[in-house]
Structure 1
Amino acid sequence: MQTNLCDQAKRLEQAAEAERVLRSCVHCGFCNATCPTYQLLGDELDGPRGRIYLIKQFLETDVVTEKTQLHLDRCLTCRNCETTCPSGVEYHKLLDIGRAAVEARVPRSPGERALRAGLRAVVPHAGLFKALIRTGQAFRPLLPEALENKLPRHARPAKAHPLARHARRVLMLEGCVQPGLSPNTNAATARVLDRLGLSVEPAREAGCCGAVDYHLNAQEKGLERARRNIDAWWPAIEAGAEAILQTASGCGAFVKEYGHLLRDDPAYAAKAARVSELARDLVEVLREEPLEKLGIHADRRLAFHCPCTLQHAQKLGGAVEGVLSRLGFHLTAVPDGHLCCGSAGTYSITQPELSRQLRDNKLNALESGNPEVIVTANIGCQTHLDGAGRTPVRHWIELVEEALH
């Protein structure tokens, strides 16, 4: 589409990129057919094409209202539209630019500011988050339902990590919320990898990937966290670590963007590009290994929920299903597997009503094949779906580890 950015918009740091993405859109509307919020609300402005028009209008006229902010806030950033788009529009990049520019111009209510500041103050800090989860578990009967549903139903304590004893080594991003909500996931990963001849090398200084801050429009703080992680990983990278592993696909999608996000930082551009090259979702590592060495003969009936960050951002749809099938698990069919569950980072907290509708629709689809367990690859999806109190939801690697002989 044609664009004519106003003088104010041209002064934005990412004006050229915004214009490039806008011009790649041919406003065909195919994206609306797979947009979860458009399907729920039926409003053009709650679909990708409408949101693109809103951002374009703002960047061309410098006029913006709370209505613009509302429709941008309602986007899940699931990137389903990018999978559908025949023109390759990088919608999520335009959305990040538009949201940050609107945030600078449209003041939020005190309640919204407090909520977002609270999320940013708690979620990225693994120790604080874990302490709050433990406190919540202790007082669970006294909590309102909305908070109780955010706590894990059956938190399995972390078993011991195996000692690093193999020549092949990988780094693993521990994450900020996963150690508190599903503490055994990373330990199970390390034990499975150990059986395959790979050792997980700790990098204790690495913390939150930065996605929480970045997607709540504190973009510079998100990039600070990215730089800190790069510094923490760099000595091991120089020593020959062959991958940086993520067990949460949301973190993986963001780490793979480090190279793009820091491309203009002279001190970090080259290192960030290298980190993005080494970033691997767990399934990318496992599918290349001789899985028959694990000695697994599983026969459990599972439904796999493929997170948006895995299938649309990382383009790994079908990868986990392939590994689980190789290991002998029976996977049930999942209708509309491309649709978002409504977790979407902090979306389930900032947009609770829409999030619940999406969750219930997703659970109906996942449960249609009567699985024993639902498995997924992202802690946000896992917690959100499990919070409904229906079929148990776990990370897929834990079931693989439990089937080891």
Structure 2
Amino acid sequence: MKHKTFISDLSFSAISAGFIAVLVGYASAWAIVYQAAIAAGASQEMIDSWIWALGISMGLGCLGLSLYYKRPIIIAWSTPGAALLATTLSGNSIGEAIGIFVFVGVLTLLTGLSGWFDALTKRIPLPIASAMLAGILVQFGLNIFTSLQSDPLMVGIMLVTFLFAKRWLPRYAIVAVLIAGFICAYSFDLINLQQVRWSLAMPVWTWPEFNLSLLVGVGLPLFIVTMTSQNVPGIAILRSTGHNQAPVSPILSWTGGLNVLFAPFGAFTLNLAAITAAICASEEAHPDPDKRYIAGVFAGVFNILAGICGAAVVSLFAAFPVAMISALAGLALLGIIGASLQSTFEHPDYRDAALLTFLVTASGVSFFGIASAFWGITIGLGTLAISRIARA
């Protein structure tokens, strides 16, 4: 019976949303992960192992959790975490880096088992969470037009394709944009296939070494950055797209467990995705929210394929022009940006707090190594508390 339900829920739009999410994730952020691997002293074989570990672990997380909970649950690496590692790991051994990865995975597992993070996020009002989400995603919407300035013909064709497809083929608008972008990039000779390295990835085990000063100085900031800039927005995505009872604690537990299991092969940190999850949870994936989990399942399938094929897939994704990927991501996120802004300003009692949350998050400010999403939520909740005291 479950098999028949899955088959009946299949749709090309959801499958393509899963593919686009993986494409955007790898093409836009792998360079930062690569820099982190180099800073950790990884050899080329180890870097290929990082690709394998991240692809397989993210894929298993997406596929298993999306199938089990029937929601588009996307597990990804922490891009801000990778940026942190790229600036802090230099001069340390690869074993010590692996020790940090295991440590962060254990902390994530314990956080999930304790349930405190779930209880905390449930206290964040939806307008505040939506404002933070809109602040994170708005830059991707703006990137459509900065990309239009850098490559007006290709991005212009993609934009016009989107507008026409939204009118006559709304379910396949993003698929049409992807096809149009690929045809343009190929026709204009913008795809650099010379850098594609055709090889499969092989896992390489590295024994972890636990250096207390590094665990405190790098591991704890990595954990905090991942929780505040990735998991909080990831939960906001789930709840703002109709999944208000998202099982946060079990998801974090499984994420932490996968992180610990694959850390010795190079999975530096895993978390709930925000940007790519928004693509899979949007109306473009499927008009029925109950059938969007298919996008999460196929994001898992494509992640696993990316992990197995390793450097070939990563270099292939990197061969696409930056303007095409930026425009594709922005257009795929337009719907959820609009829905988040509507929810942000819908309730007058939350409007000031939500506006500040949106502005602080969108500004990209960072204090003490903690990303703007955390400060947006903090200032928004503080503003809300002061307004309630003033009315009391």
- TM-score (ref. length: structure 2): 0.22
Counting strand residues as a fraction of each chain, which structure ranks higher? 1
| More contact order relative to length (CA 8 Å, sep ≥ 6) | 2
Counting helix residues as a fraction of each chain, which structure ranks higher? 2
